[in-house]
Amino acid sequence: MTTAPQKNIRNFSIVAHIDHGKSTLADRLIQATGGLSDREMKDQVLDSMDIERERGITIKAQTVRLAYTAKDGETYTLNLMDTPGHVDFAYEVSRSLAACEGSLLVVDASQGVEAQTLANVYQAIDNNHEIVPILNKIDLPAAEPDRIKQQIEEVIGIDASNAVPISAKTGLNIDLVLEAIVERLPPPNGDPDAPLKAMLVDSWYDTYLGVVVLVRIIDGHLRKGDRIRMMGSGAAYDVERVGWFTPKMVSSEALGPGEIGFFTGSIKEVADTRVGDTITDDRRPTDAALPGFRPAQPVVFCGLFPVDAAEFEDLRAAMGKLRLNDASFSFEMETSAALGFGFRCGFLGLLHLEIIQERLEREFNLDLIATAPSVVYRIRLTSGDEIELHNPADMPDVVKIDTISEPWIRATILTPDEYLGAILKLCQDRRGIQADLSYVGNRAMVIYDLPLNEVVFDFYDRLKSVSKGYASFDYQLTDYREGDLVKMQILVNAEPVDALSMLVHKTQAERRGRAMCEKLKDLIPQHLFVIPIQAAIGGKIIARETVRALRKDVTAKCYGGDVTRKRKLLEKQKEGKKRMRQFGKVEIPQEAFIAALKMDE
C-alpha cells in the first residue's frame, strides 16, 4: 500500500455528549465503508476490545482509517479519530483535535446541547475545525430537529441549517454523513517534500509490540527503518513498524503528509512518549516544532493506601503497571500516621482519579482507601521562592508564607429552569463568581468561575442531588488566584492528626471544621478517658466536640465455661486494635478515617 494523495484525505473527529450516539455512529461509518463485514462488526470489534482489556491497554484516542468511494467516483481515505471526550483529558482531546481538519458535532435531536458538547465543540472551533452538525435519533418520537437546530445556532453560534438528520441506530442517512465529510471538510495540505514533522497524538503499551505511538503526519514522510527524534523529550528511536487501523492493524511501508497512523520502535515506556510532542527525522530535522506541546500536568491529588498494609508492595507494582500506559498518572510514596504506607497520586481530574482507583481495585484486586482529593496550591514564601503544595500535611510554617494561590475553573452548567435557584446557591456557597447566565430554550446555562478546591470535594454529588440528575456540568482550568486560604488542623486529644488536615478558605473553615468534628465524634470509639476533638487554625480552636469516657463496660458473669468465648472476643478486640492507629493515647480505627475523609456535608 502506498500513501494516499492529500486531496483525497479527510481527517475528522466526532464531538458528542455521552449517550448522544458517538460510538454507534462510528460503528455505522466503519460498517458502511466496509471496514468490517456485518458479522465481523460484532465479532471483530468486541474481540479486539476483549484483548485490549486482557492486556490492560487503555486506548485513549483511537483512529480508524476508512476507504470510501464517493458519489464523484473518487476513493477517499477517511481517518476517524475517536477521543475520550472528558474534560479530565482536555489536553489529550485538544491534541487529537489538532490532528484533524474537521469535526462531526453529534447532538441528540430530542435532548439538545449539553455542557460537555459545548466544551468539546469550542475546542474544535479553537482548532479551526470545519464543523458538520449532525442530528441523531431523529427516528424517536420525541425528536425536535428544528428546535435543536435553532438551539445549536443560538448556543454554539454555528450554521445548523444544513445539519444532517440521521439515526445511527437504524443506519438512516449514514451515506449523507459520508458525503458531507468528503464535500464539506477540507483536505490536509502538508508539504510532502519537507522534512518529517508529525504530532504525537497518543501512545499505549502493547505486550507484543511494546509502545505503540499514534501520529499525525504534518509534513514529509515517516518510513519503516527511519531514525526519528522526539523534539520535546530529545530521545531518538528507530522505526520498526508503520501502519494504520481499519480497525484491524495494517502494516505499511510509510505514512505520508496528512495521514494518521501508528509506528513502533524500541520505546520502553509510555512515559517516554509525550502527547503533543513533535516527531521529526533525526538526520534531517524540521526547523520548528509544533506549537502547544506541554507535558501532562496533574491537577488533583489524593492519597491511595492499601486497606491491608501487607498489600503495599502489590499496590506499588500495580501502579507501576498502570503508569506504563498512562504517563499522566503520577505517584510517590507517602507515609501517614493514620493510614500507614501508601502513595500520593496525581491525576488529570476527578474522573481520571476514579478510573485509576477502579482499575487498581478491579484489575489488581486491591482494597484501597482514597483520602479526600485536594488540588495543587502554589505558595509564595516570604523568601520569594514559590513552591507547589500537593499535600496539606506538607504546608510550610505560616510565618514563612507570603501568599497562597489556588486553581480556579470556569464551569458551564446546563439545567432545567426549576433547579436553577438551587444550583446558583450551591455555586455561591462554593465561593463561585457568576460569569454568565443565559437561556437555551427552556434550559438555563450558567457559567461560573469556581475554585477547584470547592469542586473536588463533593460538588458533583451535590449538583446531581439538587438537580435530580438533570444538570450537566463541564469545566476547564483557567488560572491560579490568590486566596485567603488557611490550614485547618484536626486535633484528637490535643494531638494533631495529619491525615485530616486540609487547606480551606477562611470563610469555609468553621463549617468544615464543625462538620469534621461532629463526624469524628461518632466515629472514634469511647475510651477510658474523655477525648476532646478540635478543629484549629493556627492556635485558634474553631470547633470542638467531645467523645465521652466509657462509664460501664464489664462482663457481669464470667465462669469457667465462658473463658473460651471471652478469649475469642478479646482476640477480636486485639485484632481490631491492630487495625487502629495510635494518636497519643487515643486509638482510632482505620474505618473512622475512611468515613471521615469521605465525608459529605
Partner 1 sequence: MSRLAVPAGSARAADAAPPPADPGFGVYVHWPFCAAKCPYCDFNSHVRHAPVDQARFAAALAAEARAMAERAPGKRVTSIFLGGGTPSLMAPETVGAVLDAVAAAWTVDADAEISMEANPSSVEAERFRGYRAAGVNRVSLGVQALDDRELRFLGRLHDVDQALAAIRLARETFPRLSFDLIYGRPGQTPEAWAAELERAIGLASDHLSLYQLTIEPDTMFEKLYRAGKLAMPDEETGAALYAVTQAVCEAHGMPAYEVSNHAVPGGECRHNLVYWRYGEYAGVGPGAHGRLVSGGRRHALATAREPERWLARVESWGDGVDADDILSEEEAGDEMLLMGLRLVEGIDLRRYRAIAGRGLDPGRLADLVAHGMVETIGPDRVRATRAGAFVLDAVVADLAA
| Chain CA centroid to CA 413, Å | 18
To the nearest 10°, the Cα dihedral for 511, 517, 522, 524? 150
Helices and strands: H and E segment counts in the chain: 13, 34
Question: Which of 176, 236, 398, 570 contacts partner 1 by CB under 8 A?
Answer: 570
Cα–Cα dist 71/432, whole Å: 53
**555 annotated as belonging to a binding site for a ligand:** no
Contact status, residue 260 vs residue 11, Cβ threshold 8 Å: yes
* CA angle (445 as vertex; 440, 450 as ends), nearest 5: 170
Nearest approach in angstroms of CB 572 to partner 1 is 10
Q: How far is the CB of 560 from partner 1 (least distance, A)?
A: 4
Count of residues that interact with partner 1, criterion CB under 8 A: 26
Q: Which residues contact 456 (CB under 8 A, 6 or more apart)?
A: 300, 350, 373, 374, 375
Whose Cβ is closer to partner 1: residue 399's or residue 554's?
Answer: 554
Of 142 and 528, which has the nearer Cβ to partner 1? Answer: 528
* Least spacing, CB of residue 570 vs partner 1, in Å: 5
Task: Kindly state the DSSP code that residue 550 receives in the 8-state scheme.
Answer: P
Kindly indicate which of the ranges 64-72, 77-85, 251-259, 548-556 contains the residues binding partner 1, using the contact rule CB under 8 A: 548-556
Query: Does position 73 bind partner 1 by CB under 8 A?
Result: no
Q: Does 588 engage in binding with partner 1 (CB under 8 A)?
A: no
Nearest Cα neighbor of 464 from 409, 408, 415, 515 is 415
Q: Which helix (H) or strand (E) segment is 107 a member of?
A: strand 102-108
Closer residue to partner 1 in complex, CB, 362/552: 552
Smallest distance from partner 1 to CB 557, Å? 5
Taking CB under 8 A as the rule, does residue 550 contact partner 1? yes
Select from 38, 193, 397, 553 the one that contacts partner 1 (CB under 8 A): 553
Closer residue to partner 1, CB minimum distance, 7 or 585 = 585
**Which is closer to partner 1, CB of 398 or CB of 570?**
570
Q: Is 139 annotated as a binding residue?
A: yes
20 is in an annotated binding site: yes
- Residue 258 φ/ψ region, left for φ over 0, alpha for ψ in the -120 to 50 degree band, beta for the rest: left
The only residue of 558, 598, 600, 601 in contact with partner 1, by rule CB under 8 A? 558
Residue 432, marked binder: no
Query: Residue 350 corresponds to which amino acid?
Result: L
Rounding to the nearest 10 degrees, give the CA dihedral for residues 222, 227, 231, 234: 160
- Asked if residue 23 belongs to a known ligand binding site, the reply is yes
| Choices 65-73, 346-354, 368-376, 558-566; region in contact with partner 1 by CB under 8 A | 558-566
Question: Any known ligand binding at 22?
Answer: yes
Q: Least Å distance between CB 485 and partner 1?
A: 38
Residue 471: half-sphere exposure toward Cβ, Cα within 13 Å: 30
The nearer residue to partner 1, 362 or 551, going by C-beta atoms, is: 551
Return phi, psi of residue 516, to 5°. -65, -45
Applying CB under 8 A, does 546 fall inside the site for partner 1?
no
Q: How many CB atoms lie within 10 A of CB 291?
A: 8
Binding of residue 494 to partner 1 (CB under 8 A):
no
Rounded least distance, CB 568 to partner 1, Å: 10
Among 7, 147, 481, 566, binds partner 1 (CB under 8 A): 566
| Interacting residue with partner 1 among 238, 253, 571, 601 (CB under 8 A) | 571
| β-pairing verdict for 386-389 and 374-375 | unpaired
Q: Which residue has the cell 458528542?
A: 16
Residue among 1 and 558 whose Cβ is closer to partner 1: 558
Phi, psi values for residue 148, rounded to 5°? -70, -35
**Cα–Cα distance between 349 and 347 in angstroms, integer?**
5
- What is the nearest approach in angstroms of partner 1 to the Cβ of residue 342? 24
- The two most distant CA atoms of the chain are separated, in Å, by 97
Q: How many CB atoms lie within 10 A of CB 317?
A: 12
How far apart (Å, rounded) are the C-alpha atoms in residues 80 and 77?
10
The answer to the question of whether 189 is labelled as a binding residue is no
Q: How far is the CB of 585 from partner 1 (least distance, A)?
A: 6
Q: How far is the CB of 569 from partner 1 (least distance, A)?
A: 9
Q: Is 24 annotated as a binding residue?
A: yes
The answer to whether the peptide bond before residue 247 is cis (omega within 30 degrees of 0) is: yes
Among 567, 598, 600, 601, binds partner 1 (CB under 8 A): 567
CB of 561 to partner 1, least distance (A): 4
Place of cell 474553631: 542
In the complex, what is the shortest distance from the CB of residue 587 to partner 1, in angstroms, rounded to a whole number? 9
CB of 546 to partner 1, least distance (A): 15
Pair 517, 535: CB distance under 8 Å: yes
**Which grid cell is 448?**
461560573
**Nearer Cβ to partner 1, position 460 or 529?**
529
* 3-class SS letters over 502-549: EEEEHHHHHHHHHHHHHHHHHHCCCCCCCEEEEEEECCEEEEEEEECC
Residue 215 and residue 262 in contact, taking contact as beta carbons nearer than 8 Å = yes
Q: Please report whether residue 585 would count as binding partner 1 according to CB under 8 A.
A: yes
Of the candidates 185, 557, 583, 590, which one interacts with partner 1 according to CB under 8 A? 557
Contacts of 163 (CB under 8 A, 6+ apart): 133, 134, 135, 145, 149, 152
Q: Which is nearer to partner 1, 425 or 585 (CB)?
A: 585
Among 484, 563, 598, 601, binds partner 1 (CB under 8 A): 563
Q: Using the rule CB under 8 A, give the single segment among 160-168, 305-313, 403-411, 546-554 that binds partner 1.
A: 546-554
Query: Is 225 within 8 Å of 41 (Cβ atoms)?
Result: no
Site for partner 1, residues 499 to 538, rule: CB under 8 A:
527-529
Q: Which amino acid is at 207?
A: T
Binding segment toward partner 1, per CB under 8 A, in 168-176, 312-320, 477-485, 566-574: 566-574
Q: Looking at beta carbons only, is 283 or 567 nearer to partner 1?
A: 567
Instruction: Say how far apart CA 245 and CA 55 lie, in whole Å.
Output: 18
Q: By the criterion CB under 8 A, which residues form the site for partner 1?
A: 527-529, 550-561, 563-564, 566-567, 570-571, 573-574, 577-578, 585
Binding site listing: 19-24, 136-139
Binding site listing for GTP: 19-24, 136-139
